[in-house]
């Protein structure tokens, strides 16, 4: 297997960016997941294009990840190449009074700091989401009544079908609750332009601090997780349904329904992906039987089961 990947040394991808047979638990906030055959840390467009071309030439499957904060990777890991859009793929500029253009690896917290330093408001509710801009756009991440799709002006992607670069305007992106058109397309988000509005930095900072303190109060940030495990079903709240079904604190191995926030499955330390998946299935069965609601996972599930 490694012989194919040894040929990556003939490309312009730096050796330090190539990781063979590397556990995905080191690249996800759940801290679980078996090995990727090959993970490439992307910090420039030319490396990204080389990795995509290499995968196509060798007919290798490609998986794209950002900060891994909405991922559950199974214990058998991921075959082929994992392209990780790293947080150093993060050029950002403000070409007008209200626009920010940034590369997709930038973390939402860094973007929030940039907006604050330029006196631009609108990003504060999203500032505590621990993802990259690319991951947030794919998921249409949101918090406290705001969604990133409301701020997007346009998004530039690299198509994996023909390796061309294309810019979509917001009206072509079909943003909805935790979904977007790009979730169903074979592409990598390269960058986006966001529209914000001017405000006093002091006010922006206060709002950011307020949202951060709400997160600390309500979310189990001391344990690995991928945030809300399930989407909000129409007309109900996943956390309340789970709580009402008596599942607060319920455990499968080291995977547990958080005592602090029933919408989060947490890793108590040594959970496997299989523990988490079993717990998720149990939650879905109990909640559906008792309430009629079928909870749909918000976390993206990737990779293969482990061989016994
Ligand atoms: C403690 C905690 C709190 C959270 N709170 C919230 C919250 O309030 N609101 C919310 O919406 N989410 C929340 N999340 C979930 C998560 O942070 C968001 O979904 C985030 O936007 C995911 O970004 P990421 O870079 O980590 O993406 P990843 O988890 O790495 O990937 C998510 C999806 O995006 C795709 N993807 C990532 N980058 C790219 C790219 N550049 N091009 C193409 N596809 C890409 C991946 O293939 C995958 O399908 C929380 C998570 C945690 C751990």
Read off the tokens for 7: 């040929």
pTM for the whole thing?
0.96
Work out the pLDDT band at 2, boundaries 50, 70, 90. Answer: low
Work out the pLDDT band at 147, boundaries 50, 70, 90. Answer: very high
Q: Whose CA is nearest to atom 1 of ligand 1?
A: 227
Q: Whose CA is nearest to atom 51 of ligand 1?
A: 227
Please determine, for residue 176, whether its predicted confidence score (pLDDT) is greater than 60: yes
Distance CA 238, CA 247 (A): 12
Domains of the chain: 2-85 (3.30.43.10), 92-216 (3.30.465.10), 221-302 (3.90.78.10)
Q: How far is the CA of 129 from the centre of ligand 1 (A)?
A: 8
Distance CA 27, CA 71 (A): 9
Ligand 1 binding pocket includes 170 (Cβ within 6 Å) = no
Ligand 1 binding pocket includes 266 (Cβ within 6 Å) = no
Q: How far is the CA of 285 from the centre of ligand 1 (A)?
A: 26
Q: 198-207, pLDDT tens digit by residue? A: 999 999 999 9
Beta strands 99-103 and 187-195 are: antiparallel
User: Tell me, what's the pLDDT at 42?
Assistant: 97
Ligand 1 binding pocket includes 135 (Cβ within 6 Å) = yes
Distance CA 276, CA 189 (A): 29
Mean pLDDT on 116-143 = 97
Q: 179-200, pLDDT tens digit by residue? A: 999 999 999 999 999 999 999 9
User: Tell me, what's the pLDDT at 36?
Assistant: 98
Mean pLDDT on 214-243 = 97
**Residues forming a β-bridge with 19:** 39
Exposure string (b/e) for 163-180, b if CB count within 10 Å is 16 or more?
eeeeebebeebebeebeb
* Backbone phi and psi for residue 148, each to the nearest 5 degrees, phi listed first: -65, -30
Helix (H) or strand (E) holding 110: helix 108-117
Ligand 1 binding pocket includes 86 (Cβ within 6 Å) = no
* Backbone phi and psi for residue 255, each to the nearest 5 degrees, phi listed first: -95, 135
Please determine, for residue 220, whether its predicted confidence score (pLDDT) is greater than 70: yes
Work out the pLDDT band at 217, boundaries 50, 70, 90. Answer: very high
């Amino acid at each position: 297997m490694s012989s194919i990947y040894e040929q990556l040394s003939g490309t312009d991808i730096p050796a330090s960016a190539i990781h063979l047979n590397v556990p995905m638990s080191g690249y996800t906030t759940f801290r679980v997941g078996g090995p990727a055959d090959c993970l490439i840390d992307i910090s420039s467009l030319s490396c990204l294009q080389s990795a995509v071309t290499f995968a196509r030439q060798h007919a290798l499957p490609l998986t794209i990840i950002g900060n891994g904060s909405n991922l559950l990777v199974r214990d058998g890991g991921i075959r082929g190449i994992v392209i990780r859009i790293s947080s150093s793929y993060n050029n950002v500029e403000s070409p007008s009074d209200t626009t920010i253009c940034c590369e997709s690896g930038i973390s939402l917290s860094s973007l929030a700091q940039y907006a604050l330093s330029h006196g631009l408001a609108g990003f504060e509710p999203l500032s505590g989401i621990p993802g990259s801009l690319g991951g947030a756009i794919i998921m249409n991440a949101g918090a406290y009544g705001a969604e990133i799709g409301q701020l997007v002006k346009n998004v530039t992607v690299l198509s994996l079908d023909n390796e061309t670069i294309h810019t979509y305007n917001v009206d072509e992106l079909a943003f909805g609750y935790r979904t977007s058109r790009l979730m169903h397309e074979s592409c990598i988000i390269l960058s986006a332009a966001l529209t914000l509005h001017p405000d006093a930095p002091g006010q922006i900072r206060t709002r950011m601090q307020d949202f951060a303190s709400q997160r600390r109060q309500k979310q189990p940030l001391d344990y690995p997780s991928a945030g809300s495990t399930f989407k909000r079903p129409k007309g109900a709240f996943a956390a309340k349904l789970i709580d009402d079904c008596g599942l607060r604190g319920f455990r499968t191995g080291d995977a547990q329904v958080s005592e602090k926030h029933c919408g989060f499955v947490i890793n108590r330390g040594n959970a496997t992906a299989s523990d988490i998946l079993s717990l998720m299935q149990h939650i879905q069965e109990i909640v559906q039987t008792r309430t009629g609601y079928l909870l749909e996972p918000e976390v993206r599930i990737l990779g293969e089961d482990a061989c016994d």
